[in-house]
Each structure stands twice: as C-alpha cells, then as structure tokens.
Amino acid sequence: MESRNIRLAVIPGDGIGTEVVAEGLKVLEAVGTKIEPTHYDLGAARYHRTGETLPDAVLEELRGYDAILLGAVGDPSVPPGILERDLLLRLRFAFDHYVNLRPVKLFPGVETALADTSAEDIDMIVVREGTEGLYAGTGGVMRRGTPHEIATQESLNTAYGVERVVRYAFEKAKSRPRKKLTLVHKTNVLTYAGDLWQRTVNRLAEEYPEVTTDYSHIDAASMFFVSQPERFDVVVTDNLFGDIITDLGAAIAGGIGLAASGNINPERTAPSMFEPVHGSAPDIAGQGKADPTATILSVAMLLDHLGLSAEAARVEQAVADDIVDRLAGGASRTTREIGDDITARVSG
C-alpha cells in the first residue's frame, strides 16, 4: 500500500502521557507512513501556566487534522473534572466522537486475570457512546456545603444520538464472524433512557436479520465479563456504562497496559482521536515504567481508520510478537525499551 501524508495532531497531555506517546510516534514513523506530527501542549502544565485548558482557537486548529493522538489527561494538582471535562470530553463532544471503540481482545499467550479462560474466550469489541448520557455534564448543586445540600447529575439521551451509535454497532457486528450484538444498560432502573436504548436496538434489529441481539443489565454484564466473557461479541452501551465495562475489559484482557481505544467520528466531519484507555498515572510518571503498548495499539487503530490497514496489521503483529517474547520471560523493560523493540519489529 502506498504511503500518504497524515496530518497528525499530537496531545501528549499529563503524567505518563508524554512517555507513551513518544513510543507511539516512533512506531508510526517506523511503519513507513509519512506523518507530519504537530505537538500540542495541553494539560495540567498549560493550565497552571496560563489558566487555559483548550482555547477556542486551538480547538478550531485541531479540527483541520486527519487524526489526533492523545496520551492521557489528568493531574492531582488540578481539581477533578477540569481537564477531563474542558479538554478531553470537550474534544470528544466538539468533534462528535459518538463512537468510542474499545476492543477487548486477549492476545495469544497473554495471561488473563481469569482462572479458567483462554484467548478464544475473550474477543469482543465495545462500542461505547461518546457524546451523551451522564457525560453531558448537566446537573447542579444547591446549598453547597450545608446540611441541606442537593447535588444532581443528569443523563441526556436522544433518539438521534442513540440510533447512530447503535447502527454503528450493528454494522460492526454484521462484519464479524459471530454477528452478535449485546446491549448493556440498566433498563429496569433507568427506565426512560433504557426504554429508548432497547427500542432502538429492537427497531434496528429488523434491518439486520443476520445479527443476533441480546441484552444484559450492567450489573450482570460486569459479572459475565469475569465469569463468561465468551458471551460477548459486540457490546453497545452508553457513555458511563461503557467507561466502566471497558476498564473491566482491560483487566480481563491482559491489563490496562494493553487497552487501546478510538474516539471515532464515523462521518469524518472532524478528526477522530486515538488514545490508550489508561489514565495519566501520576504515581509512575517520568520513571520509564509505563507500558506504551496500549498507545501503540491505539496507533494501529488510527492507521486502520485512515485506510492504512496493511500498516495497522503490521503494528498489531509486531505487538503480538513482542508479547509472545515478554511471556517467554526476560528482563523487565522500560517504556522506551518496549517502544524500541516494537519499532524494530515494525521496521524489520
């Protein structure tokens, strides 16, 4: 496949974000695509220096890129929610990343946290809604700090928002061998939102007769992720349930060091954004302890999204080979060493 220019915005962010993104870029370069990375200094440091999280002008500039690679956002020196909401979630919302795609797949040979599970049992993809639900940020507080305080949060769900992500999930399911789609929600308690999600799945199911549909409450699904992960092929769920279940997915599929994700704008009206599922891990930042594999796998998703599927496959294969080697034992490696090893495989 012919290589093409990719205009890539890079937001290393906070904590280990910088370290893992450096390795991701190394691999991206080694795979032989022409990339023009432009770094954006956004995150805790910028916030402390200038008070800015994501200036409007920067947001508009970012809109012009082919894709965004993000490391991680969040630092204990900034009150919870500021960077998350005004930077990360703002990007997801502004660029209409309504599909948050998170594969939960056990690489052959990787140890899972589960006792009686083999690699074939864990091969699913979670399609998490990315622009609605409790992440809308609506809610408020009254009489803060008094014994009469009331704090509310609101989950906003629209037919428009639910239908498009459910349709995406049906398409995904249709393209996979098992062709199974499981809706995860809590319809017995969140009756209004649950009803909208369930009706939408039921309606679209008629357009996809080849796809089997299934339903699981979020509590039962969390249990099944551990006890019967083979139940799941494609999972579609709302923003918050997706957040929870994909971290759980990472835990069963080799750990958060391997979990990749894409915030996708399927219509390509704005750049999609790729990031590891893990956070900024301030406790180990700057020590070369972070595993860059999740970022490198996110780079593979990025390549795939840009139509460079052969390159994506090469990166994935390099990671798979590297993982087999790590399982064979050997010294524990630094962030850079893991990046170097995978880079060597991609180039070689």
Ligand X SMILES: CC(C)[C@H](C(=O)O)[C@@H](O)C(=O)O
Distances (CA, A) of 115 to 226, 228, 234, 252, 259: 10, 11, 23, 10, 20
Instruction: State CA 2 to chain mean position distance.
Output: 28
Among 59, 119, 205, 244, binds a copy of itself (CB under 8 A): 244
Q: Please identify which of the residues 186, 233, 304, 322 carries the catalytic annotation.
A: 186
Q: Choose the one of ligand X, a copy of itself, none that binds residue 196, judging by a C-beta under 5 to 8 angstroms depending on kind.
A: a copy of itself
283 binds a copy of itself (CB under 8 A): no
> Least CB distance from residue 309 to a copy of itself, whole Å?
30
77 binds a copy of itself (CB under 8 A): no
> Least CB distance from residue 174 to a copy of itself, whole Å?
23
- Which residues from 228-267 bind ligand X, rule CB under 6 A? 243
Question: Could you tell me which residues come within 8 angstroms of residue 172 by beta carbon, excluding any fewer than 6 positions away?
Answer: 125, 127, 234
Distances (CA, A) of 11 to 42, 71, 86, 153, 321: 7, 6, 14, 29, 28
219 binds ligand X (CB under 6 A): yes
41 binds ligand X (CB under 6 A): no
- What whole-number distance in Å separates Cα of residue 192 and Cα of residue 198? 10
Closest-approach residue to ligand X (CB): 84
Angle at 317 between CA 311 and CA 320, to 5 degrees: 150
| 65 noted as active-site residue | no
Q: Which residue has the tokens 């305080």?
A: 149
> Least CB distance from residue 256 to a copy of itself, whole Å?
6
- What whole-number distance in Å separates Cα of residue 150 and Cα of residue 173? 42
| 215 noted as active-site residue | no
b/e 135-160 (16+ beta carbons within 10 angstroms → b): bbeeeeeeeeeeeeeeeeeebebeee
- CB of 15 or CB of 30, closer to ligand X: 15
Residues 102/246, Cβ–Cβ less than 8 Å: yes
Q: Please identify which of the residues 40, 47, 98, 135 carries the catalytic annotation.
A: 135
Among 56, 57, 152, 269, binds a copy of itself (CB under 8 A): 152
Rounded to 5 degrees, what are φ and ψ at 132? -140, -155
219 binds a copy of itself (CB under 8 A): yes
| 208 noted as active-site residue | no
Among 27, 30, 126, 190, binds a copy of itself (CB under 8 A): 190
Q: Choose the one of a copy of itself, ligand X, none that binds residue 152, judging by a C-beta under 5 to 8 angstroms depending on kind.
A: a copy of itself
1 binds a copy of itself (CB under 8 A): no
**Which of these segments, 6-14, 31-39, 182-190, 206-214, binds a copy of itself (CB under 8 A)?**
182-190
Among 55, 64, 81, 307, binds a copy of itself (CB under 8 A): 81
223 binds a copy of itself (CB under 8 A): yes
93 binds ligand X (CB under 6 A): no
Query: Considering only CA atoms, which of 49, 126, 46, 129 is closest in space to residue 86?
Result: 46
Number of residues in contact with ligand X, rule: CB under 6 A?
9
178 exposure class (CB count in 10 Å sphere: 0-12, 13-18, 19+): middle
Catalytic residues: 135, 186, 219, 243, 247
